[in-house]
A and B are shown apart, each in its own frame.
Chain A
Amino acid sequence: DAKTTQPTSMDCAEGRAANLPCNHSTISGNEYVYWYRQIHSQGPQYIIHGLKNNETNEMASLIITEDRKSSTLILPHATLRDTAVYYCIVRVAINGNQFYFGTGTSLTVIP
């Protein structure tokens, strides 16, 4: 698995965009980038994933650099309920588990 590097913590003002970076410099061509978040001991919540192209859904946008060595999760208008630990995960396309959670980024949305 390609390892990921994320900031330990970040703050964001309520209503502003939250941009969460992730480095995955050893990613391979068939590995997907996934983002999850976990709100205080609840189950991790799927946010978005992508392979090469940028992706957008109702929760967030995922921007993947052209060389695929880094990505950014964008929450367009952060709310207090977005305060959580955000995990960037790189997943390989083979059988079996390819989902290894790191330590993530603790995002605090400030009123």
Chain B
Amino acid sequence: DSGVTQTPKHLITATGQRVTLRCSPRSGDLSVYWYQQSLDQGLQFLIQYYNGEERAKGNILERFSAQQFPDLHSELNLSSLELGDSALYFCASSVGQGAGSPLHFGNGTRLTVT
């Protein structure tokens, strides 16, 4: 158990809808990362927050947004969903931002868009 909690585990929704994925980082971790993994694809970095502030953006679509709250949990909002958004979405956390701080991943949310 990595200590990173993601909810829900599974989500099925229709095209055009909006969903929110939630992540609780490990106790004491200030940095949160979001990744997307489509079928047979590698892990694609979406966005990173550190202590409530956005620190880096990857290949995140404009339809997607995220935030990190004062209690350090994070939410990833996906809107105007398309079939191609079906994927595993992983959250990871680390103590700091330094390169020597390992990321610890949750077990993901599996999103299915029908």
Binding site for B on A (CB under 8 A): 30-32, 34, 41-46, 49, 51, 91-104
* A-contacting 9-mer, from B11-19, B41-49, B61-69, B71-79: B41-49
A100 to B48, CA, bound (A): 13
Tell me whether A103 and B99 are in contact (CB under 8 A): no
Let me know if B58 is at the binding interface, CB within 8 A. Answer: yes
Given contacts A41-B88, A41-B108, A99-B33, contact A46 B48 (CB under 8 A): no
Which A residues touch B7, using CB under 8 A?
none
Residue numbers of B with Cβ under 8 A of A are 2, 4, 33, 35, 42-43, 45, 48, 55-56, 58, 88, 90, 92, 97-100, 102-108, 110
Closest chain-A Cβ to B33's Cβ sits at a distance in Å of 6
- A95 with B56: CB separation less than 8 A: yes
A31 and B2 form a contact (CB under 8 A): no
Q: Which residues of B contact A93 (CB under 8 A)?
A: 98-100
Bound CA span A91–B105, Å: 16
Chain B: CB-nearest residue to A51: B100
- A13–chain B nearest beta-carbon distance, Å: 28
Q: Could you show 14 A-B contacts with beta carbons less than 8 Å apart?
A: A31-B99, A32-B100, A42-B107, A44-B105, A45-B105, A46-B105, A49-B102, A95-B97, A97-B45, A97-B55, A99-B33, A100-B45, A101-B35, A103-B42
